Amino acid sequence: MEDLNRLFRPDSSFRAFVAGLFLVIEGSFHHSEVFAQAMAKARENMQVRNQIGGPLKAAWLIFGNLNVNGSSGSANLSIPIAGSRRKGVIHVVAVKSAGTWRFKRLLVHVEEQTEGIDLLAAEPASTQEF
């Protein structure tokens, strides 16, 4: 029985490896172009500023997928955010082609609100690229 307990109880080096892997993955989200662009769009939006308050900051834990291969890629992210008034989540769906990210969806859901804030709705299509 003691051998089974040892087998299923991770040692400190395994826990350190998992924690390091987690930090690398989360850091890659936070340092990505698409993350920076989504945060900039949210910070620029008057509705987001009014409902969430400033300064707008992203939480450390981001959920989703980010795939980048040179000048192409895709992102499907949920970025938890908070300001002085409320919390929310930025939902991002984007595709990178020829080095340019194009947002397919950029929506902020604010806690205690039923309607999301579409960050792409008020923009002409030509300005939705970064």
Amino acid at 32: S
Asked if 122 and 115 touch (Cβ cutoff 8 Å), the reply is no
The reported pTM is 0.75
Q: How far is CA 7 from the centre of its chain?
A: 35
pLDDT at 7 over 70: no
Asked if 67 and 96 touch (Cβ cutoff 8 Å), the reply is no
Residue 7 DSSP code = H
pLDDT at 90 over 80: yes
Q: Where does the pLDDT of residue 24 fall: very low under 50, low under 70, confident under 90, or very high at 90 and above?
A: very low
Q: What is the CATH number of domain 2-127?
A: 3.10.450
